[in-house]
Amino acid sequence: DAGVIQSPRHEVTEMGQEVTLRCKPISGHDYLFWYRQTMMRGLELLIYFNNNVPIDDSGMPEDRFSAKMPNASFSTLKIQPSEPRDSAVYFCASSFLAETQYFGPGTRLLVL
């Protein structure tokens, strides 16, 4: 199994631009999670899905952030418009029956 796949691995953009991060979970997993890692706040849960349905988005920082999961094999996290304080590493993770979560390599986002 290829594990959780995230793209792009690195993204540099200018403030105000739209950013889209992508994730392909492990085949057969029914949960998908988006986390953000920063030096100041550590690892934070942003949103998670069960069977493609958003269950808890209370960690999404503001309306500029949105996430979708159109099918079991694909999810996106979108930031529009982006701001410098959004600079972080964004991780996607997936699990089966909400037990062990397996993480992707992350997307390192820098907003100038």
Partner 1 sequence: AQSVAQPEDQVNVAEGNPLTVKCTYSVSGNPYLFWYVQYPNRGLQFLLKYITGDNLVKGSYGFEAEFNKSQTSFHLKKPSALVSDSALYFCAVREGYSGGGADGLTFGKGTHLIIQP
Binding of partner 1 by 112 (CB under 8 A): no
Binding of partner 1 by 106 (CB under 8 A): yes
Integer angstrom CA distances of residue 109 from 8, 63, 100:
9, 18, 26
Contacts of partner 1 in 21-50 (CB under 8 A): 31, 33, 42-43, 45, 48, 50
CA angle 43, 44, 47 (to 5 degrees): 140
Q: Residue 83, SS3?
A: coil
Query: Closest approach of Cβ 91 to partner 1, in Å?
Result: 6
Contacts of partner 1 in 49-88 (CB under 8 A): 50, 55-56, 59
Pull the structure tokens for residue 85. Answer: 């304080």
Binding of partner 1 by 101 (CB under 8 A): yes
Specify whether the CB–CB gap between 105 and 7 falls below 8 A.
Answer: no
**Site residues (CB under 8 A) for partner 1?**
4, 31, 33, 42-43, 45, 48, 50, 55-56, 59, 91, 93, 98-106, 108
